[in-house]
Amino acid sequence: MIDLIKIELYKIFKKWRTYIGFIALGILIPLIHFAMVLEGERTINFMTRNIQESFVFVGKLLNTYLISYIILTSLAVHIPFLITLVAGDLLAGEATAGTYRMLLTRPISRTKLIIVKFIAGVIYSNIIVFWLAFLSLVLGYFIFGVGELLIIDGQMIVIFEKNDVLWRFLLAYGFAALGMTTVASLAFLFSSLVENAIGPIISTMAIIIVFVILSAIQVEFFQNIKHYFFTTHIMSWRLFFDEPIDIKEILNSAGILILHIFIFFSLTLIIFNKKDILT
Amino acid sequence: MIYLIIFISIIELNAQSINSDEIIKSLISRFNQVKDYEVDIEIKVDVEFLKVPESKAKLYFKQPDKVKLKSEGFALLPKDGIDFSPTSIIKGNYTAIYERNEIIQGNQNYVIKIVPLNENTNIILSTLWIDTKNFVIRKLESTTKTEGTYSIELFYDDNFKYPLPKQMIFSFNIDKMNLPQTFINTTPKTGRRKFTDGPIVGKVYVNYSNYSVNKNLSDKIFLDK
Amino acid sequence: MNNSDKIIEISNLTKRFNDLVAVNKLNLNVYKGDVFGFLGPNGAGKSTTIRMLLTLIYPDEGNIKIFGKDLIKERLNILKKVGAIVEKPDFYGYLTAYKNLEILGRISGIEVNKNLIMKNLEIVGLANRFDSKVKTFSHGMKQRLGIAQALLHNPELIILDEPTTGLDPIGMKEIRDLIIHLSKELKKTIFLSSHLLNEVEMVANRMIIINKGTTKVEGEVKELLDKNRIYVRIDVDNAEKTLGILKLTKWSNFIRKYTNNHLEFDLESYEVPMLNKHLVENGVYVYSIIPKRSLEEYFLKITNEASDD
């Protein structure tokens, strides 16, 4: 099994499209850093302008933590796209290339093949999140250093002490990886249905965008059903920046995401095992 | 305003023996013993809309009105509480009216009303509780045009020769706090974001320790960013 | 041939795609050591049958046994001993020939090393292109690489779906020679699908012709394509007149068909000159005498019908 996963990862990383994600983040995040070097202080003054009317404060609020937080918030749709680029191609790509015929006439069960490809897709998704975390926190550290983290949470302004932040980020990135695994599993499911990777990429992104839009509509019906959208729970990494942390809520969101992953994966398994390979 | 004028007239007629201006003068003269100081402070914020960890900082003061807050980490102090020197509280043209005596913190205090005469100032009215023996401010209440009312209670170490407090409790009452829309966390559980209705209340506790007084502080301290 | 020699047993195999019955109650047996020709025009159901043999698609009815075992139940064990090319061989174009074979070998669960891969590349004449990316290969080279991957794990049964498609005559001959080598020297059983009768004739010992998903002809190649079993087409000036001349002779018993200008006779080859002499002596102008193998005609006919469809 390990050998087969290695083979799948080798195939993934031999394709140029895999590197789009890494390059995109490698350009986007330093750009954000650059913008914050120029405009960061103004951004913070804007965020804190009401407090500043009544309070004097000192402290290094423009630091890698704040910027990493902003990056993580802003990339709710962008990262999923980078995930679908690869996950959507895992099965559909074999159909396009015609390599199913070579692959599935080998003494390997279809179930094993699905498992192996899925794991490879999940590994890729986690690597992308890790890359995001590295660029945000580590690169940001060398430019901005560390300090307190200021966030605005609903009707609260919350400031976390310097030493109280890193562990939250590590857990938040871990949760983000779970979210991206959910996206990958949906793209993977669509990939099993078609013969071209474009379809899964577009379908997955369409679903994400529609869910995000519906969740934002301030109508009671949508506000009630949005708790069933996996996109809502992908953003639950923010729960690690509550004080105190609501463990129950986090576990609830994690559970919902894991359930989605399980359903998407199971459907893929069933569909692929029954499928006639005509390509 | 009308009430104020009537009030002033009554007091003027009755309170011939207590001269509020003299009290203020004594207060200022007592404080002027302090040319400059630096002090370690610990700040605890207990405000509805703020979740802030306890912070440590250093406060610098030099007569007449130089103040600087420095911290290695983070520190948050109410603007009106950073400088409790009498001259910062009693600024410009004003009318001081003695109201009564009152005991607070186990001490007798003159209760003096300060009405700023300058239209540009934010403060409408201040009330001072001034210790009758030591001529230190034990309590201050101010009503502002834009930020509601706040009060400051100052506690002193009786053995300390300078009129500098060991603790300040800053309480305030703000009408409304508008938070910027961007970067607002909307986690699944909080759902719809609500603006706060009604006044926001809060307290800030500041403890002062390790005063270093009249050490001839350099002006450079107050220029650094 | 006894049952223990049966490598492939197909019984009542049926596959439908919506309203189209692609394979219809197909039965066939392939024995150990056979080079089995699986013939049919385009759209006859050959590829569908091969895909079912390799579990790429699932039959609606019927049963397949390979090496005496049920294909569905013992799929993994069976496929370990089967090598195949299905239609056009497609590889990971962004990887080298070497890497493609290495990956396919590892997926097959065999011990893959440089010697093994290079040996197979040498067999198909691609050793000098081992580190070229497959996307740079011509069709013929991909075809040969396809055979290399089919042989990689030393299978007992080799299924080749139109392996000479797109090859030039030299390439085709090389493939035919390879098939004969695999059969005679390496004792492999080969299931060869083709739409070219002469290709099958040159290598196969047994064959089947299918059309519209059902068996039309089946048997030993030698028997079916025996040169002695021919019919003759004779082009004449006036078929009616010729019929009149032959009416009371023995030759009239051999007439199978006639039109305005030609007649067809079922004859042994030695009888042809005798008929020709009789016609000429009786004033019939004979324009041409063309011997035809009935099977070839039949296959041509059904091929033409298929391309008209």
In a domain, B221, yes or no: no
Query: If we measure between CA atoms, which residue out of B29, B27, B61 comes closest to residue B217?
Result: B61
Q: What's the token pair of residue A2?
A: 């390990």
Check: CB of residue C25 under 8 Å from CB of residue C189.
no
End-to-end CA distance of chain B: 42
In a domain, B219, yes or no: no
Question: Is A99 touching C (CB cutoff 8 A)?
Answer: yes
Question: Is A105 touching C (CB cutoff 8 A)?
Answer: yes
- Domain C3-224 matching CATH 3.40.50.300: the answer reads yes
Overall number of domains in chain B: 1
Distance CA A144, CA A150 (A): 15
Question: Is A102 touching C (CB cutoff 8 A)?
Answer: yes
Q: Which chains touch B (3 or more CB pairs under 8 A)?
A: A
Distance CA C92, CA A15 (A): 10
Distance CA C234, CA A2 (A): 70
Nearest to B82 among A56, A147, A246 (CB): A56
Give yes or no for residue B6 having a pLDDT over 80.
no
Q: Of the given ranges (A138-142, A168-172, C82-86, C270-274), which has the lowest mean pLDDT? A: C270-274
Do C149 and A102 count as a contact with CB atoms less than 8 A apart?
yes
CATH 3.30.70 residue window(s) in chain C: 230-308
Chains A and B: how many Cβ contacts under 8 Å? 127
Q: How confident is the model at residue B124 (pLDDT cuts 50, 70, 90)?
A: confident
Q: Which chains touch C (3 or more CB pairs under 8 A)?
A: A
Q: Of the given ranges (B91-95, B140-144, C44-48, C162-166), which has the lowest mean pLDDT? A: B91-95
Q: What is the percent of chain C with per-residue pLDDT over 70, rounded to a whole number?
A: 95
Chain C residues lying within 8 Å of A270, measured CB to CB? none
Question: Is B78 touching A (CB cutoff 8 A)?
Answer: yes
pLDDT at B187: 45
> Do B and A touch (≥3 CB pairs < 8 Å)?
yes
Nearest to A98 among C57, C78, C88 (CB): C88
C interface with A, Cβ–Cβ < 8 A, is: 51, 54-58, 75-80, 82, 84, 86-95, 103-104, 106-109, 149
Stated as kind and residue range, the H or E segment containing C191 is: strand C189-194
Query: Alpha carbon of A217 to those of A223, A238, B191: distances in Å?
Result: 7, 20, 12
Check: CB of residue C142 under 8 Å from CB of residue C164.
no
Q: What angle do CA B58, B64, B66 make, to 5 degrees?
A: 35
By C-alpha distance, the chain A residue nearest C103 is A7
**Based on the number of CB atoms within 10 Å of its own CB, is C11 exposed (0-12), middle (13-18) or buried (19 or more)?**
middle
Tell me how close the Cα of A82 comes to any Cα of chain C, in angstroms. Answer: 21
Do B52 and A236 count as a contact with CB atoms less than 8 A apart?
no
Question: Is A15 touching C (CB cutoff 8 A)?
Answer: yes
pLDDT at C293: 73
In a domain, B189, yes or no: yes
- Spell out the domain ranges in chain A: 2-274
pLDDT tens-place values along chain A, 279 residues long? 999 999 999 999 999 999 999 999 999 999 999 999 999 888 888 877 777 777 888 888 899 999 999 999 876 778 999 999 999 999 999 999 999 989 999 999 999 999 999 999 999 999 999 999 999 999 999 999 999 898 887 778 888 988 899 999 999 999 999 999 999 999 999 999 999 989 999 999 999 999 999 988 889 898 888 888 999 999 999 999 988 899 999 999 999 999 999 999 999 999 999 999 888
Tell me how close the Cα of A253 comes to any Cα of chain B, in angstroms. Answer: 9
Q: Is the dihedral angle over the CA atoms A113, A115, A121, A127 positive or is it negative?
A: negative
**Beta-bridge mates of residue C69:** C66
Q: Which chains touch A (3 or more CB pairs under 8 A)?
A: B, C
Query: Alpha carbon of B18 to those of B12, B24, B86, B93, B97: distances in Å?
Result: 10, 11, 19, 20, 10
Map residue C162 onto helix, strand or coil. coil
Q: How many CB atoms are closer than 10 A to CB B158?
A: 7
pLDDT, tens only, C114-149: 999 999 999 888 999 999 999 999 988 999 899 999
Do A97 and C92 count as a contact with CB atoms less than 8 A apart?
yes
Map residue C91 onto helix, strand or coil. coil
DSSP codes joined into one string, B157-224:
-TT-SSS-EEEEEEEEEES--PPPSTTEE--TTT-S--PPPS-EEEEEEEEEEEEEESS---GGGGT-
Residue located via tokens 């704040």: A66
pLDDT at C3: 61
| HEC letters along C8-77 | EEEEEEEEEECCEEEEEEEEEEEECCCEEEEECCCCCCHHHHHHHHCCCCCCCEEEEEECCEECCCCHHH
B172: containing domain: 2-214
End-to-end CA distance of chain C: 39
Number of H helices, E strands in chain C: 11, 14
Give yes or no for residue B16 having a pLDDT over 60.
no
Q: What's the token pair of residue C79?
A: 């496929």
CATH number, position B158: 2.50.20
Which is it for strands C35-39 and C206-211: parallel, antiparallel or unpaired? parallel
Tell me how close the Cα of A272 comes to any Cα of chain C, in angstroms. Answer: 11
Query: Alpha carbon of A273 to those of A114, A140, A193, B113, C55: distances in Å?
Result: 9, 46, 12, 87, 11
- Domain C230-308 matching CATH 3.40.1710: the answer reads no
Q: For B163, list phi and psi in degrees, rounded to 5.
A: -80, 60
Tell me how close the Cα of A144 comes to any Cα of chain C, in angstroms. Answer: 41
Check: CB of residue C46 under 8 Å from CB of residue C26.
no
